[in-house]
A = this chain, B = another copy of it.
Amino acid sequence: MNIHMIEAANARLSGNRRRTQILNSPFLDEIAGRRVYVKPECLQQTGSFKFRGAYNAIASLPEAIREKGVLAYSSGNHGQGVAYAARMFGIRAVVVMPSDAPNLKIENTRALGAQVVLYDRASEDRAEIGARLAAEHGLTLIKPFDEPQVIAGQGTIGLEIAEQARLRRVSEADVLIPCGGGGLTSGVALALEAKAPGLRPRPVEPEGFDDVTRSLISGEIESNAATSGSICDSIITPRPGDLTFPILKRLCGPGIVVSEADCLCAMATAFTRLKIVAEPGGAAALAAALYHGDAIEGDAVFVVVSGGNVDSAIFQRALEEWG
């Protein structure tokens, strides 16, 4: 992994991804006690940053391999990113999803052009199904984060932040990033190392799922006790990746842990002040900027809002409790 892979990803993504604009508000600055610059990846194609990595991974495949199609396991942001990117290339995408996944997610993934293969979580193994499909049809598996071209795609966000910080004359600041498996955080970290070394990446995680924060403290990969049961589902993974963790360890500042209530409150604040829709996990870094200012350094902070794919019931809960 290096900056040249991210720059190559940037060239591939040019004209296909949205170069999301920085948003800010005097109201956020006042809450945070410093200038807050928000990178709204909820406004990205398919509603999350995942499109970048998915597109770049597919674009990087040799044409003869790519045209046979791709495969993903994900009912969430990565699955949608893979489905839409595959559609842009006019190739087949198969997304393997549990049969009890919410209907809307299944419908959306289909509507983005993917073939959805359902499996029974109790009696079937998705990896086995995926391996069989891949072997039968020559599909290539696009992993959600522990994959160099996915990391490189997410890293294009770091290139953009570096440039956007330069235009705002910010040379030193923390960059807060919602962190699951670490694909986004490691990609952004590599880009900032090369292009804006005064900007320090900081992973942000929900309480109870702070594997990266603990891993950074211990210096070794730590796991979460649970892998479900959080409204921040989009950034919940069992443990940091084998590829991503060494990058996080080398380049990131300490992790920051936020509560679910922090995330809901940040969603309501983003609604009121920025007019964007953030999902709970996607709002984690904004929550850290607004409500954990003591953990942050500098008079400016950059915040990635990583996605906006949230059920209206949870969004309404955020507005009811905090709007």
Q: Which residues of A contact B (CB under 8 A)?
A: 18-21, 23, 26-27, 30, 40, 42-43, 47, 84, 87, 108, 111-112, 268, 271-272, 274-278, 308, 312, 315-316, 319-320, 323
Q: Can you name 5 A-B pairs with beta carbons within 8 Å? A: A26-B111, A271-B315, A272-B312, A276-B277, A312-B320
A319–B308 contact, CB under 8 A?
no
Residue of B nearest to A275 (CB): B308
Minimum C-beta distance from A102 to chain B (A): 13
A138 to B42, CA, bound (A): 45
Residue of B nearest to A30 (CB): B111
A312–B271 contact, CB under 8 A?
yes
Residues of B with C-beta under 8 A to A275 = 40, 42-43, 47, 276-278, 308
Given contacts A43-B276, A268-B312, A316-B316, 5 further A-B contacts (CB under 8 A): A20-B21, A27-B108, A276-B277, A312-B320, A315-B319
Residues of B with C-beta under 8 A to A320 = 312, 316
Residues of B with C-beta under 8 A to A42 = 275
Residues of B with C-beta under 8 A to A19 = 21
Residue of B nearest to A320 (CB): B316
Minimum C-beta distance from A124 to chain B (A): 30
Minimum C-beta distance from A15 to chain B (A): 9
A19 to B167, CA, bound (A): 15
